[in-house]
């Protein structure tokens, strides 16, 4: 039997990366999930091995609160972290080239598990009400309104690590997994939000495009900020290094903008325009006060 993706015990079942209740709401069962190498697979087949305890006792109450819209910011963070973590592990079981099995997996296990230790430790919050995050939540959690009841899923891999997913109430959950809540704090300030959006959002766009552009602006801003990285993981505690009010800014080359844009399926033209308008401006500030 394979090991449970979450705890390492023998797996007796599978956990759906996109939960079945969300698949049912958006009628995703036979729809195709696009993989980063251009191939697809049905949403129903996007699963990872899990033990009954993790599939039931640990994650079912979390899924129930997400489904009802009663989750806390910490719980939304853990759910997005679970989606990102599971998508990476699913990719290790798929072939990079189905016609050439010798080419290896879609994603090497060591790359897929780059947040594994942090994720598995953070999931300990599901076992103990006294588990402590600092800051809490550990990343930026934002709920934004959509205009349609269409499904969207955006998974931004390392080194940026972000997730956007549609919820049943025409809202979209956007989570930056490792920024200690910096971007969410700035996003809630209208003045700073305008500065963090490198492109204008014309009317008549789909929710997918609009969310991708919003996430693009957030990740560009995040890339220019030097946020302390050290993390301490002790029993019952996930502690990030203290984030000063004034964060140093750094210059980013055009290629970084383009990489972020391609991950979000945004054109290089948008990336190039954003770089021309914002890269030197952010760097020239020397620092940004984020709260």
pLDDT tens for residues 80-118?
999 999 988 787 765 555 666 665 655 656 555 567 888
The per-residue pLDDT for 1 is 61
245 burial class (0-12, 13-18, 19+ CB within 10 angstroms)?
exposed
Which of 127, 152, 178 finishes a domain? 127
Tell whether 270 and 135 lie within a shared domain.
yes
Tell whether 100 and 169 lie within a shared domain.
no
> CB neighbours of 108 closer than 8 A, spacing ≥ 6?
92
Tell whether 56 and 196 lie within a shared domain.
no
Looking only at the bridges linking them, the beta strands covering 237-240 and 132-134 are parallel
Tell whether 222 and 284 lie within a shared domain.
yes
Find the domain containing 80 and state its range. Answer: 1-127
Tell whether 217 and 289 lie within a shared domain.
yes
The per-residue pLDDT for 201 is 45
Tell whether 154 and 169 lie within a shared domain.
yes
Strands (E) across the chain are located at 13-16, 32-34, 40-42, 47-50, 132-134, 140-145, 153-156, 162-166, 171-176, 231-234, 237-240, 246-248, 287-289
Which of 127, 159, 179 finishes a domain? 127
Tell whether 51 and 145 lie within a shared domain.
no
Report d(CA 160, CA 222) in Å as an integer: 9
* Intervals of the chain under pLDDT 50: 198, 201-203
Report d(CA 270, CA 218) in Å as an integer: 14
> CB neighbours of 107 closer than 8 A, spacing ≥ 6?
88, 91, 92, 94
| Closest to 252 measured CA to CA, from 260, 243, 244, 241 | 260
Report d(CA 185, CA 39) in Å as an integer: 37
3-state SS class at 15:
strand
Judge whether 140 and 76 are in contact, CB under 8 Å.
Answer: no
Tell whether 121 and 214 lie within a shared domain.
no
Work out how many domains the chain is built from and give that number. Answer: 2
Tell whether 48 and 93 lie within a shared domain.
yes
Q: Phi and psi for 185 in degrees, rounded to 5? A: -60, -45
Cα first-last separation, the chain? 49
Tell whether 270 and 141 lie within a shared domain.
yes
Which of 127, 162, 179 finishes a domain? 127
Q: Phi and psi for 210 in degrees, rounded to 5? A: -65, -45
Q: Identify the residue whose tokens are 């049912």.
A: 24
Tell whether 123 and 154 lie within a shared domain.
no
The per-residue pLDDT for 148 is 84
- How do the residues of the chain divide into helix, strand and coil, expressed in percent and rounded to 5? 40, 20, 40
Tell whether 151 and 30 lie within a shared domain.
no
Judge whether 80 and 64 are in contact, CB under 8 Å.
Answer: no
């Amino acid at each position: 039997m394979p090991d449970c993706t979450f705890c390492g015990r023998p797996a007796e079942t599978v956990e759906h990366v996109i939960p079945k209740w969300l698949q049912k709401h958006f009628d995703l069962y036979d729809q195709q999930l696009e993989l980063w190498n251009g191939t697809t697979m049905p949403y129903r087949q996007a699963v990872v091995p899990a033990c009954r305890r993790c599939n039931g006792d640990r994650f079912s109450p979390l899924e129930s609160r997400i489904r009802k819209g009663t989750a806390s910011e910490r719980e939304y963070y853990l759910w997005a972290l679970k989606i990102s973590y599971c998508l990476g592990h699913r990719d290790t079981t798929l072939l990079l080239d189905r016609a050439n099995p010798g080419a290896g997996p879609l994603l090497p296990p060591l790359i897929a598990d780059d947040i594994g230790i942090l994720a598995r430790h953070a999931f300990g919050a599901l076992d103990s009400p006294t588990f402590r995050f600092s800051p809490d939540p550990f990343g930026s959690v934002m709920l934004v309104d959509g205009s349609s009841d269409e499904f969207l899923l955006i998974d931004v891999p390392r080194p940026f690590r972000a997730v956007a997913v549609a919820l049943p109430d025409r809202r979209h959950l956007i989570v930056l997994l490792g920024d200690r809540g910096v971007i969410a704090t700035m996003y809630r300030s209208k003045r700073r939000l305008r500065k963090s959006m490198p492109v204008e959002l014309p009317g008549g766009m789909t929710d997918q495009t609009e969310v991708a552009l919003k996430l693009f602006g957030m990740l560009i801003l995040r890339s220019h900020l030097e946020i302390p990285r050290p993390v301490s993981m002790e029993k019952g505690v996930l502690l990030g290094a203290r984030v000063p009010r004034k964060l140093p800014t750094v210059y980013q080359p055009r290629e970084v903008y383009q990489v972020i844009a391609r991950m979000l399926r945004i054109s290089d033209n948008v990336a190039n325009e954003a770089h021309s308008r914002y890269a030197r401006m952010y760097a020239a500030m020397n620092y940004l006060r984020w709260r």
